[in-house]
Amino acid sequence: MSYYERHIFFCLNERAPGEASCSQHGAEAAFAHCKQRVKAEGLAGPGGVRVNRAGCLDRCAGGPVAVVYPEAVWYTFVDASDIDEIVSSHLKGGQVVDRLVLAPEVGR
Amino acid sequence: MSYYERHIFFCLNERAPGEASCSQHGAEAAFAHCKQRVKAEGLAGPGGVRVNRAGCLDRCAGGPVAVVYPEAVWYTFVDASDIDEIVSSHLKGGQVVDRLVLAPEVGR
């Protein structure tokens, strides 16, 4: 059994001014919102959900991005309501949010 | 299929002086060594292996720690030869390095 049932990693990579990166597209706010929602829903901790900071996940063309393991489902998101849906549907209910899934060809 | 066949996250969390954290126990050097080994073996990239920075993974009592997904195998390590074994055995060959696996009860 996995230590965390689901482990979501947010790319919070910062680049020099002038270069695009997830952190310039609301990733930090999305991470903080996700962490707060997961805690509020009572999902946080071993056997539950861990919301994690990560460095560059190298799929920058789709940024901001996050990945949920062990399912290896990749998301892109725009606002807090997208995060709410990932939390309630996927992290809580195990149901992938198809409309937010990153296209397979999106890379660096 | 998973975007990366295997995705390893190293906890590189830094705490204030006087508090224990993975980064005070060689995590940064282990991360850099792993990244270099994976590249040298030709494993890096989509369809292969991604070596990633992460914030606190919240299993600090076993630090330094890293986790390999999608298998959700957690490791603790001491030196570069431990990392070499994780790369050659697990990341390349798919064989878990049992002697380095973190005990299931190790938490924060």
Return the exposure string of A61-89: e unless at least 16 CB atoms fall within 10 Å of the residue's CB, then b: ebbbbbbbbeeebbbbbeebebbebbbee
The ipTM value here is 0.95
pLDDT tens, position by position, for chain A (108 residues)? 799 999 999 999 888 887 788 888 899 999 999 999 999 999 999 999 999 999 999 999 999 999 999 999 999 999 999 999 999 999 999 999 999 999 999 998
Closest CA to B30 of B46, B14, B11: B11
Confidence of residue B14 (pLDDT cuts 50, 70, 90): confident
For residue B56, the enclosing domain spans 6-100
Whether A58 is in a domain gets the answer: yes
Q: What is the mean pLDDT of residues B62-77?
A: 96
Interfacial residues of B (vs A; Cβ cutoff 8 Å): 2-4, 7, 9, 12, 46, 50, 52-59, 67, 69-72, 74, 104, 107
Question: Mean pLDDT, chain B, as a whole number?
Answer: 95
* B45 lies in some domain: yes
With CA atoms as reference, report the closest residue to B50 among B58, B39, B40. Answer: B39
Task: Assign B18 a pLDDT band (cuts: 50, 70, 90).
Answer: confident
Q: Flag whether A108 is in a domain.
A: no
Quick one: pLDDT at residue B104? 94
CATH code of the domain covering residue A76 = 3.40.30.10
The whole-number pLDDT of residue A30 equals: 97
Cβ atoms of residues A82 and A90 within 8 Å: no
Does residue B106 lie within any of the structural domains? Answer: no
* Minimal CA separation from B100 to chain A, in Å: 16
Query: Structurally, how many domains does chain B consist of?
Result: 1
The answer to whether position B34 is within a domain reads: yes
CA dihedral B29, B33, B39, B40 (to 10 degrees): 150
State the nearest Cα–Cα gap between A34 and chain B, in angstroms.
15
